[in-house]
Amino acid sequence: MESAGQPSYEELVRLVADQAALIERLTARVAELERRLGADSSTSSKPPSSDSPFTKAPSRSSRSS
C-alpha cells in the first residue's frame, strides 16, 4: 500500500529514465558548446577577423626571457 503523495515504483522508474535521457542530451550540448568555444581562426576555417578581441593569441615562443 502506498502513502498519499508518494510516487509509485513505475513512476520513479520513468522519472529516472527521463532524467537520464535529459542528462545525456545536456552532456552532448555542453560538449558541442565547449568545442565551439575552442574554435578560432587557428583551429577552424573561420577568418581571423572573427576571433574574439578579448582573448590573447598564444605565445609562439616557449622560452622565457
For 7-14, the CB contacts below 8 A with 24+ separation are none
Higher pLDDT, 9 or 64: 9
Does residue 16 lie within any of the structural domains?
yes
Does residue 20 lie within any of the structural domains?
yes
pTM value is 0.56
Are 37 and 51 in contact by the 8 Å Cβ rule? The answer is no
Domain extent, residue 26, equals 9-33
Q: How far apart are CA 65 and CA 51, in angstroms?
A: 28
Query: φ and ψ at 49, to 5 degrees?
Result: -65, -15
Does residue 3 lie within any of the structural domains?
no
Side chain identity at residue 22, one-letter code: L
Does residue 18 lie within any of the structural domains?
yes
Does residue 58 lie within any of the structural domains?
no
Does residue 23 lie within any of the structural domains?
yes
Q: What is the number of structural domains in the chain? A: 1
Q: How far apart are CA 31 and CA 8, in angstroms?
A: 35
Task: Categorize the per-residue pLDDT at 30 as very low, low, confident or very high, splitting at 50, 70 and 90.
Answer: very high
Does residue 1 lie within any of the structural domains?
no
Does residue 41 lie within any of the structural domains?
no
